[in-house]
């Protein structure tokens, strides 16, 4: 094993130090006290605009905007990204995965720091056609994650297509840019129409998305080079993943945002560790790509028929293994644990406890070794390993099966 690069140690130590300092100084509460009243006033004042837009509601518009919202939701991307890896566009797939994880972390952090409400329902009519939308409605409002993710991922996709095709035609570039702008605009309008967000949430998501996209376009090549050929990649990313779990702000009241972050954090870890191990076998620039003679449509369909059941099986097994092993490991180390949903025995043993257990833990409480009284929610570790295993199978196990089956 080679030596650990100094910059990795400095980065991880700096992030850990920031987590501790921000907890001691109550940075989250101070930012919230400054921003929450201002955002809440704009949410209330924006209700009239939402009601005006919703005057034109109807079954067709409900279905259109609900479907459009699903196309840019985290569950859709989670299902779509494996297909992108298996299509041969590995660089695009891993960049969109890491960009999605980055957007998810920053967006959800901002939601829980500000803890600003969504539009009040009633009088606003809220349309939650799917289970995912019902869970989204339990999160805070600012910024709109759908708007944020759409700006970043569609913007990066446009950049990749123009670079990959080496298209310098100004009219094609303008058409692509106009299509992205139209798509982002429809997503923002749809979130207001569905009663999920106010105008200030959309503007916040748009502004944050443009800032993240501009940053990512300047660093994505460095990140990709590190992932495929860097030193100490898996260990560094595993440490970073743990710090990102602990360095997450405490919302005013518990929301699903931290669970979403944990899941995609695990996805990023699984993708990075798998790519780092198998890049030269399955993910280099000369792999067969879809719509070529090397990877025909029937062969790609065969990949889906083999790959999708395999990753679902791995997800199930990863969850079962984590549910069995993590409580044993915690008990061996003397770490007090609880479970909010995954392990019935631990749910029952903690159901009678009140006080701080009902709130999401703070920065230092998440670092359970700072407080022996604080129980560590084992569901977080289970969720991280579950989605990490799923993502690893997408880029390591399943391509190995493709190779053996000549797909």
Q: Tell me what pLDDT residue 310 has.
A: 92
Contact between 153 and 101 under an 8 Å Cβ cutoff? The reply is no
Is a pLDDT exceeding 50 seen at residue 182?
A: yes
Query: How far is Cα 87 from Cα 304, in angstroms, rounded to an integer?
Result: 10
What is the per-residue pLDDT for 365?
Answer: 44
More confident residue, 248 or 168: 248
Between 194 and 359, where is the model more confident?
194
pLDDT at 370: 40
Mean pLDDT across 93-117:
91
The tens digit of pLDDT for each residue in 275-317 reads 988 888 888 888 888 888 888 888 889 999 999 999 999 989 9
pLDDT at 270: 92
**What is residue 374's predicted lDDT score, i.e. its pLDDT?**
59
The predicted model gives 140-159 an average pLDDT of 90
> What is the rounded average pLDDT for all residues in the chain?
85
395: pLDDT strictly greater than 50: yes
Q: What is the mean pLDDT of residues 140-158?
A: 90
- Distances from the Cα of 183 to the Cα of 57, 130, 190, angstroms: 20, 21, 10
Check whether 366 has a pLDDT greater than 70. no
Write down the domain spans for the chain: 6-351+367-405
For 124, phi then psi, to 5°, come to -70, 140
pLDDT exceeds cutoff 50 at 208: yes
pLDDT of residue 2: 57
Which sequence positions are flagged as catalytic?
146, 197
Confidence of residue 209 (pLDDT cuts 50, 70, 90): very high
- 172 confidence band (pLDDT: 50, 70, 90): confident
**Percent of the chain residues past pLDDT 90, beyond the cut:** 31
pLDDT in tens, 23-44: 888 888 899 999 999 999 999 9
Q: Is the pLDDT of residue 361 over 70?
A: no
Cβ neighbours of residue 337 closer than 8 Å, sequence gap 6 or more? 326, 327, 330, 331, 346, 375, 376, 377, 378
- Measured between its terminal Cα atoms, the distance across the chain in Å is 34
This prediction has a pTM of 0.86
Confidence band, pLDDT 50/70/90 cuts, at residue 201: very high
Percent of the chain with pLDDT over 70: 92
- Among candidates 64, 55, 44, which has minimal Cα distance to 141? 44
- Tell me the pLDDT band of 186, cut-offs 50, 70 and 90: very high
């Amino acid at each position: 094993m080679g030596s650990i690069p100094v910059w990795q140690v400095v980065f991880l130590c700096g992030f850990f130090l920031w987590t501790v300092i921000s907890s001691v100084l109550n940075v989250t509460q101070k930012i919230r006290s400054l921003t929450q009243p201002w955002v809440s006033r704009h949410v209330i004042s924006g209700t009239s605009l939402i009601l005006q837009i919703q005057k034109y509601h109807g079954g067709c518009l409900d279905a259109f905007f609900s479907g459009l919202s699903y196309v840019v939701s985290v569950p859709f991307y989670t299902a779509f990204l494996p297909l992108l890896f298996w299509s041969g566009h590995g660089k695009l797939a891993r960049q969109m995965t890491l960009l999605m994880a980055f957007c998810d972390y920053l967006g959800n952090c901002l939601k829980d720091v500000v803890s600003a409400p969504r539009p009040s329902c009633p009088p606003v009519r809220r349309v939650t056609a799917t289970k995912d939308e019902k869970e989204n409605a339990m999160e805070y409002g600012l910024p709109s994650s759908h708007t944020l993710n759409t700006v970043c991922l569609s913007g990066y996709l446009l950049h990749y297509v123009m670079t990959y095709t080496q298209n310098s035609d100004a009219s094609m570039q303008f058409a692509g840019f106009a299509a992205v702008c139209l798509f982002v605009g429809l997503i923002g309008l749809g979130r207001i129409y569905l009663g999920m967000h106010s105008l200030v949430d959309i503007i916040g998501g748009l502004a944050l998305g443009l800032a993240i996209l501009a940053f990512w376009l300047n660093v994505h090549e460095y990140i990709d080079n590190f992932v495929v050929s860097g030193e100490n990649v898996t260990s560094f990313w595993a440490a970073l993943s743990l710090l990102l779990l602990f360095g997450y702000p405490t919302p005013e009241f518990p929301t699903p945002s931290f669970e979403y972050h944990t899941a995609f954090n695990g996805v990023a870890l699984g993708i990075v560790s798998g790519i780092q191990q198998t890049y030269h076998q399955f993910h280099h620039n000369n792999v067969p790509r879809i719509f070529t003679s090397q990877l025909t449509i029937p062969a790609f369909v065969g990949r889906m028929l083999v790959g999708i059941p395999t990753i679902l099986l791995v997800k199930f097994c990863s969850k079962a293994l984590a549910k069995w092993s993590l409580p044993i490991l915690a008990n061996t180390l003397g770490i007090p644990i609880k479970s909010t949903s995954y392990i019935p025995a631990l749910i029952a043993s903690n159901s009678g406890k009140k006080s701080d257990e009902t709130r999401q833990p703070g920065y230092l409480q998440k670092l359970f070794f700072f407080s022996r009284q604080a129980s560590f929610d084992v569901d977080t570790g289970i969720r991280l390993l579950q989605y990490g295993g799923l993502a690893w199978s997408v880029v390591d196990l399943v391509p190995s099966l493709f190779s053996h089956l000549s797909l």
